[in-house]
Structure 1
Amino acid sequence: MKEVPASGAFRQLEPGPIVLVTTSHQGKPNIMTMGFHMMIQHEPPLIGCVIGPWDHSYSALRSTGECVIAIPTIDLTRTVVDIGNCSGDTVDKFERFGLTLQPARSVAAPLIGECLANIECRVVDTVDAYNLFILEAERLWVDTDRKERRTLHHRGDGVFAADGDVLDFSERMEKWRHLPR
């Protein structure tokens, strides 16, 4: 083993796929790219995410208390990176990147038609010291016909990994069979 700076811990514990977060504030939809998120619990489904005041979406999320977490696949990698490199205060990201707004059912923030899945969420708590939002997932939409299903994972400094092989050990999960799939 070789010791490396602890600041690189996130590269080893990467929380899951890169996601796109949509908000709608005063009738204006926006998208941001986000990598710092985690599942907190199954029921009710709670998701923790870090969105700081330096992000244009922060004020929209604080004001409205709702968003959509959209899960892109690797065919959208360039778009995902480019969304993260511009600000919604000066750019209509849906227009610039040719993404399809689809209406959500429970929140004003739009779904993204090109994504594999979209999760409608409401803020149920915040931890201001860490810019941490606790979101409750209210509705989940999945494009079951989508051919590309591999998600994108950020490894730091613009390096990404794609999902690889799927290993199905569900038959061994005796203790957890009661959880939704």
Structure 2
Amino acid sequence: MRRIDASRTYRILESGPIVMVSTHDGVRPNIMTMGFHMMVQHAPPLIGCVIGPWDHSFAALHNTGQCVLAVPGADLARTVVDVGNCSGTEVDKFERFGLAMSRPAKVKAPLLGDCLYNIECVVHDDTMVEKYQLFILKAVAAWSNDARKERRFLHHHGDGTFTADGERFDLRDRMTLWRQFQVDL
């Protein structure tokens, strides 16, 4: 075994696919790229995400209590990075990157029509925001874009390198204890 710096832990445990966070501040929509998120519980579906006050989306999420988490396919990797390299205070990212918006059902932030999945969220708990910039979101609606040909999720390794999901293994028949969660997306 080779010892590595514990400060690199995030590069090992990056929780899941990169997501794009859509918000609306009452004037215009914005979007940011985010990798720091995690499932907190199944029911109701709660998601933890870190968005700091240095991000333009922070104020919109903090003030409105609403956002959309959109999961892009691997084919959007360059756009995901480019969106993360600029600020909504300086540019209309939807216009600059030609991202398609779709109408949400329960929140004011737009869905991202180019993404594989969209999850409409409301802030469920903000007690850890001041200390950790950690919002606990409750999923209130979810969408699947079945027309997308690229189905691989994009994972960031924290240093500008990415991987995309590859082969999937279906072991649902072995999940005897958690059958209630076996639903196709």
Deviating runs (4+, > 3 A) in structure 1?
Answer: none
Q: Does 1:20 align with 2:16?
A: no
**Matched residue, 1:99:** 99
**Matched residue, 1:115:** 115
* Amino acid aligned to 1:36: F
Q: Equivalences for 1:25-104 in 2 at 5 Å? A: 25-104=25-104
**TM-score where L is the length of structure 2:** 0.96
Structure number with the higher strand fraction is 1
**Matched residue, 1:176:** 178
**Matched residue, 1:162:** 164
**Matched residue, 2:148:** 146
Q: Which digits, 9 at most, give the CA deviation of each residue in 1:155-175, with x for residues without a partner? A: 121000110110111100000
**Matched residue, 2:137:** 135
Query: What secondary structure does 2:180 align onto?
Result: coil
Which blocks of at least 5 consecutive residues in structure 1 are unaligned?
none
**TM-score where L is the length of structure 1:** 0.98
RMSD, aligned CA: 0.8
How many equivalent residue pairs? 181
Task: Provide the C-alpha distance between the structure 2 equivalents of 1:32 and 1:168, rounded to a whole number of angstroms.
Answer: 32
Q: Which digits, 9 at most, give the CA deviation of each residue in 1:71-130, with x for residues without a partner? A: 000110000000000000110000000001111110000001100010000001020210
Query: What secondary structure does 1:95 align onto?
Result: helix
Check conservation: 2:172, 2:182, Cα contact below 8 A: no
1:179, distance to aligned residue in structure 2 (A):
2.1
Task: Provide the C-alpha distance between the structure 1 equivalents of 2:181 and 2:156, rounded to a whole number of angstroms.
Answer: 28
Query: What secondary structure does 1:174 align onto?
Result: coil
Task: Provide the C-alpha distance between the structure 2 equivalents of 1:161 and 1:108, rounded to a whole number of angstroms.
Answer: 32
1:145, distance to aligned residue in structure 2 (A):
2.3
